[in-house]
Amino acid sequence: MKAKNNEQKKEEIKRAVKRIKMGEKAWATTDKSQNNQKNLPTIKILAKREVKMIELDIDMNSKAKDILCSIGRENILKDEKAIINYGFIQAINRGVEYAKKLK
């Protein structure tokens, strides 16, 4: 039985090599993985910096909240780096959650 499995694996690898030589993907992906994930283009990390950050629990009235949200929106929309960092972190978190569901 084990020898048969090894032979099957060898045949699958041979077929994958043939597909690569013909310019195709080596292994087929399932529809499930293609539909559940948005594929991003290649992202290359150039540098890493550790940033000290403080997270606060604060209590405020709705007027103060509205003012701070307005200021935050105005500033964050101008800060392309901050938007990219936020998006990158969200993409990583979603990928981790998706990988956990597959296990």
Domain count, the chain: 1
Beta carbons of 30 and 102 less than 8 angstroms apart: no
Give the pLDDT band of residue 66 (cuts 50, 70, 90). Answer: very high
Largest Cα separation within the chain, whole Å, is: 73
The size of the chain, in residues, is 103
Both structure tokens of 89? 């972190």
Q: What digits encode the pLDDT tens for the residues 23-57?
A: 777 666 554 544 445 676 787 888 888 888 888 99
Query: Burial of 57 by CB count in 10 Å (0-12 exposed, 13-18 middle, 19+ buried)?
Result: exposed
Q: Which domain holds residue 59?
A: 2-102
- Top pLDDT among 103 and 7 is at 7
The answer on pLDDT for 1 being more than 80 is no
The pLDDT of 10-29, averaged and rounded, is 73
Name the residue with tokens 């979603």: 94
Helix 62-78 vs helix 80-102: crossing angle, to nearest 10: 100
Give the pLDDT band of residue 2 (cuts 50, 70, 90). Answer: low
Does the pTM exceed 0.85?
no
Name the residue with tokens 């780096």: 81
